[in-house]
């Protein structure tokens, strides 16, 4: 029997994608480790589908030391070359070089969680979009975060990537109103 649960239209019927949509996407996260993981994964996703990234997430976890910024800050050109041979991940030289750069930039932040969430004043910004076409590809919060991160030395943090990132970590709650997750994550009803 087909699953007829109403979901955001971007979510396909792939079980991995549905699980991500139903349990992770849009859920507010204040966990520094998770926020760093998602920042790296969103950077790798640029130009690709998110499902491609989800299918390689475990490969990324192994290749990227479970997204430990301390370990990744010490990556070398030799490490990049080694990962360029790893079929379990996205083999893009610039993105792999960006891993070490982003890890060092992350570690240099006094409070990375606070910085990320500062663009929404520390709490989820709940939208009530009826159609996906209403959702900006790079709203003001994403533009602000992109500027903050670039200023601090991050790479692969353009406004479109930051928009997807803020949605993924629940800072922007952009499940459409016809999606079953919208009502579950709509914290504006509690205010």
Mark whether 50 is an active-site residue.
Answer: yes
Mark whether 106 is an active-site residue.
Answer: no
Distance CA 96, CA 77 (A): 9
Residue 154, both tokens: 């991050």
Alpha carbon of residue 70 to chain centroid:
20
Mark whether 17 is an active-site residue.
Answer: no
187 backbone φψ class: left, alpha, beta (φ>0; ψ -120 to 50): alpha
The residues with which 173 forms a beta bridge, in sequence order, are: 126
Alpha carbon of residue 181 to chain centroid:
18
Residue 87, both tokens: 């079929």
Per the CB < 8 A criterion, the answer to whether 87 and 94 are in contact is no
Residue 70, both tokens: 């301390």
Q: Which of 17, 25, 37, 42 is catalytic?
A: 42
Q: Which of 17, 20, 117, 129 is catalytic?
A: 20
Q: Which of 17, 25, 37, 50 is catalytic?
A: 50
| Residues assigned a catalytic role | 20, 42, 50
């Amino acid at each position: 029997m087909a699953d007829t649960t109403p979901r955001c239209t971007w979510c396909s019927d792939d079980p991995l994608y549905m699980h991500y949509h139903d349990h992770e996407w849009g859920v507010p996260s204040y966990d520094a480790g998770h926020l760093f993981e998602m920042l790296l994964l969103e950077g790798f996703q640029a130009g690709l589908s998110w499902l491609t990234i989800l299918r390689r997430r475990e490969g990324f976890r192994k290749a990227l030391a479970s997204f430990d910024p301390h370990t990744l800050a010490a990556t070398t050109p030799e490490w990049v070359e080694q990962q360029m041979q790893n079929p379990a991940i996205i083999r893009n030289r610039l993105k792999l070089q960006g891993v070490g750069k982003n890890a060092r930039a992350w570690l240099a932040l006094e409070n990375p969680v606070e910085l990320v969430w500062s663009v929404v004043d520390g709490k989820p910004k709940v939208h009530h979009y009826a159609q996906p076409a209403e959702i900006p590809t790079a709203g003001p919060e994403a533009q602000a975060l992109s500027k903050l991160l670039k200023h601090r030395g991050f790479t692969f943090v353009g406004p479109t990537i930051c928009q997807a990132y803020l949605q993924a970590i629940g800072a922007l709650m952009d499940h459409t109103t016809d999606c079953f997750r919208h009502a579950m994550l709509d914290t504006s009803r509690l205010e």
